[in-house]
Amino acid sequence: MVSALVGSLLMMGVVAVLKCTEARPHLHPLTVSPAGRDARASGSEGRRVGLGDASAERNKFPHSNARDIGKHFLPIAVACYVAFWIALAIHPLDRSDWLLENLLIFISVIVLAFSYRKFRFSNLSYALIVVFLAFHTIGAHYTYAKVPAGFWMQDWLHLNRNHYDRVIHFSFGFLLLYPMRELLVRSVHAGKQWGTWLAVAALAALSSFFEIIEAVVAQIVRPDLGAAYLGTQGDIWDAQKDMGAAFAGAVTSALAIVLLKRASAEAVG
């Protein structure tokens, strides 16, 4: 319950900051004093007086600080996530499994930190990455097979197992499609349409790669934690279903991007 609440607050904070970032500065109308208008009518001297009054009037209304908020978005998002991670690092359900699950987070943070100077994602991409890592952090705290939200979903939908892991794999494709697309478009100069579907293929490949790495790590580090770490819950097709969920999430996100682009183009046209 606590983790769900903190996760909700984290996501609401991210969305709120994004809204502020997307807000455009509001420019107040240019006003000229009556004296300025009279002087402007009389000649160039009047024009200078009028413009001077207008400039002074305009300076009374500072522009929105949306750009400043945009610049500080990443530190704010990182601070929120670190606080969230620390809260869920306290008394996890299984400390050994928690350490294994957090390998993904440690690797992700290291890669993003070292590549920051050479490649900076947009604020939207960073927000999506933070949300995904928050979902994964919840799974690491409880172990994926015992996340309360998964049990609620199991009871509500009358499922035969806790499907929180499926939700996370779907989120992997759905939330990380846009950052992957941005990476491909900006780094290898892929076309936006090709970049979208190449991102789908890349995430499907990464999902398969992670399934292999998970099995190898579980066997090498702690073979006794294999079932808990992999979260198979007795399903022999668990890995294939996880990969399918990630692929479905990526395709859903790609279709959403395509449809939004088309709707935007039609609205402009």
- For residue range 73-105, what is the model confidence (pLDDT) as tens digits? 999 999 999 999 999 999 999 898 898 889 878
Asked whether residue 144 carries a pLDDT value surpassing 50, the answer given is yes
Q: Between 115 and 62, where is the model more confident?
A: 115
Confidence of residue 212 (pLDDT cuts 50, 70, 90): confident
Q: At 266, phi and psi to the nearest 5?
A: -65, -35
**pTM for the model:** 0.71
Q: Which of 166-170, 186-190, 223-227 has the highest mean pLDDT?
A: 166-170
Rg (CA), the chain: 25
Residue 234: CA count within 13 A, CB half-sphere:
3
| Residue 226 pLDDT | 55
User: What is each CA distance from 75 to 14, 17, 71, in whole angstroms?
Assistant: 11, 11, 9
